[in-house]
Amino acid sequence: MFQKVLVANRGEIAVRILRACKDIGLQTVAVYSDADRNALHVRYAREAYNIGPAPARDSYLVIDKIIEAAKKSGAQAIHPGYGFLAERAEFAQACKDAGITFIGPSPDAITKMGDKITARGIMQKAGVPVVPGTDSESDLTDEQLIHEANNNVGYPLLVKAAAGGGGKGMRAVHSPDDIEQSIASARAEALAAFGDGRVYLEKLVTGARHIEIQILADTFGNTIHLGERECSIQRRHQKLLEECPSPFIGTDENLRQQMGAVGVKAAQAVNYVGAGTIEFLVDEDKNFYFLEMNTRLQVEHPVTEIVTGVDIVREQLRIARGKRLRLLQDDVKMNGWAIECRVNAEDPFQKFMPSIGTISSVILPTGPGVRVDTAVYPGYEITPHYDSMISKLICSGDTRAEAILRMRRALEEYRILGVKTTIPFHQQLLDSHRFMAGVFNTQFVDNEFDISTAEGENAEIAAILAAVIAHRENQAAAQVVTKNARDTSNWKWVGRYERIHR
Ligand code: MV4
């Protein structure tokens, strides 16, 4: 059983994993590029190994150097964090070959879920609902795809890349006139991005939400879910805010239980071990469909940790050490509400353009119900080499209204000098009626939310949320807000806040 863990990542997630290691008495090793010499993860780990010069984006992808650092340091296990290394089967395999424990699923599970056509086939066989589309597990020719589109799938449909994810190599097609061209351009884009031009077809589901199920599985055959996360607040496939539970599922325990059970079934279909996430598309009628599985820890895992009280990274470590899950399905209880805002170095008033520079000064919010996962410090440089996340701000409370109020307070406390951030976006989003009512889907930010015209009557809205909390009996009042506000047909006819009181 390993005593020393190498964390093959940087930034807030490296720090998060180092903390989990220390919390159970494991020794820690960091790796870093020249650009990261002064980084927090390097200072927090007991030892650190330089693995190459800047520009460093790819230096963490150099498998050999990481294995070498593990051997030199005597680390018997490697945690990949999230990012590309975490879902590269070659890396999991290279660890295995070197006699090092990869803290994650088997290379086989990564490979199967990484190929969306294969995953779709496995899910269909396992009885997990997928969006109607092409059934064949094999690679269809253009002619076969066009035939399927016109005769079996129907329009509107989506052409999707087998190697896809994050919207790359995806084309919506609304008429048979466009199918040939759309297949060609999806293939070309997928080939350029992934070196794999295989595509498949699915019926287009409109107005859907993105809701995902957190899975934990040990090596003794115990697989459980930790409920759902709502991830529909995103812009161009970049998540901006996540919450647990989902306001759409709300008090529908039956739907929650059903989606959780299907999530468990999906993970079991590939003999999954470790922490993973099943992504679902959920339509307005509450039909849900398997989208893909993320075979790694996710950025938004903290909201689940807060609501379930389970330290997901600690469970990952325990599972990899050959221990049993500390809780079974009946022990999982969801308490309260948590929301995560991704604070990025981007200018929300300039189409979220990256904001490069040095964070000269930073004051992080704290206090009851506030958690900040970050690796920044005064003097931290935001470069184009790494992603633009500054921190994850996670706020929680007994109800959604309380979590929102706390988030408003924390965003106000937050001070960053030197770069533009997405904080103003989050403030306006939290003030919007649609967000407060919990009535939004994956199109909301891209198509219906405009930061430059968003109204922000902070004081009034805060007072209303406070009133909701004051009047609530357990969660009842907050649920009434959500329930009544879901009917948006008469929004033009009532006063802005009237509908919240009704
Ligand atoms: C879909 C869909 C509608 N219908 N599939 C986008 C990324 C990829 N992971 C799957 N995606 C979608 N697949 C069908 N059949 C809509 C999306 C989608 C989406 C999904 C999750 C989160 C945000 C999204 C934004 C736009 C489109």
Q: Are 407 and 338 in contact (CB under 8 A)?
A: no
309 CB-near residues (< 8 Å, 6+ apart)? 333, 335
Dist. CA 160–CA 182, nearest whole Å = 10
104: left (phi over 0), alpha (psi -120 to 50) or beta: left
DSSP string, 135-146: --SS---HHHHH
Q: Are 346 and 352 in contact (CB under 8 A)?
A: yes
Q: How confident is the model over 186-190, as a mean pLDDT?
A: 96
80-84, 109-113, 174-178, 364-368 — which is least confidently predicted? Answer: 80-84
pLDDT at residue 498 in the model: 34
Residue 221 host element (H or E): none
Q: How confident is the model over 181-191, as a mean pLDDT?
A: 97
40-44, 46-50, 447-451 — which is least confidently predicted? Answer: 447-451
How many Cα atoms within 13 Å fall on the side-chain side of residue 134? 27
pLDDT at residue 465 in the model: 65
Q: Are 376 and 357 in contact (CB under 8 A)?
A: no
| H-type alpha helices, 24-105 | 40-44, 63-73, 89-97
Domain 4-103 coded CATH 1.10.760.10: no
**Which is the closest atom of ligand 1 to the Cα of 292?**
9
Which residues form the catalytic set? 296
Same fold for the pair 132-203 and 209-454: no
Asked if pLDDT for residue 451 goes beyond 60, the answer is yes
pTM of the entire predicted model: 0.92
Q: Are 15 and 23 in contact (CB under 8 A)?
A: no
Q: What is the pLDDT of residues 112-171, one digit of tens each?
A: 999 999 999 999 999 999 999 998 777 899 999 999 999 999 999 999 999 987 789 999
pLDDT at residue 480 in the model: 46
**Which is the closest atom of ligand 1 to the Cα of 203?**
15
Which residues line ligand 1 at a C-beta cut-off of 6 Å? Answer: 131, 158, 165, 167, 170, 202-205, 208, 210, 234, 237, 281, 291-292, 442
Q: Are 239 and 165 in contact (CB under 8 A)?
A: no
Can you list the pairs that 170-178 forms with residues at least 24 positions away whose Cβ atoms lie under 8 Å?
172/204, 173/149, 176/149, 176/150
Q: Which two tokens stand for residue 451?
A: 């930061």
Q: Reduce the DSSP state of residue 417 to 3 states and report it.
A: strand
Q: Whose CA is nearest to atom 25 of ligand 1?
A: 442
Dist. CA 110–CA 105, nearest whole Å = 7
Give the pLDDT band (50/70/90) at residue 467: low
CATH class for domain 209-454? alpha beta
DSSP at 444 = I
Q: Which of 434, 227, 252 is nearest to 331 (CA)?
A: 227
- Mean pLDDT computed over every residue of the chain: 90
Angle at 44 between CA 382 and CA 72, to 5 degrees: 105
Q: Which of 147, 129, 281, 128 is nearest to 201 (CA)?
A: 147
What percent of the chain clears pLDDT 70, i.e. is strictly above it?
88
Q: Which of 152, 115, 159, 121 is nearest to 137 (CA)?
A: 121
Record: fold of 132-203: Dna Ligase; domain 1 (3.30.1490)
Q: Which two tokens stand for residue 219?
A: 């090596």
Asked if pLDDT for residue 244 goes beyond 60, the answer is yes
The domain ranges of the chain are 4-103, 132-203, 209-454
Q: How confident is the model over 273-293, as a mean pLDDT?
A: 97
Q: What is the pLDDT of residues 389-433, one digit of tens each?
A: 999 999 999 999 999 999 999 999 999 999 999 999 999 999 887
What percent of the chain clears pLDDT 90, i.e. is strictly above it?
80
Q: Whose CA is nearest to atom 6 of ligand 1?
A: 167
pLDDT at residue 466 in the model: 59
pLDDT at residue 469 in the model: 61
Distance, CA 461 to ligand 1 centroid (Å)? 32
215-219, 371-375, 413-417, 488-492 — which is least confidently predicted? Answer: 488-492
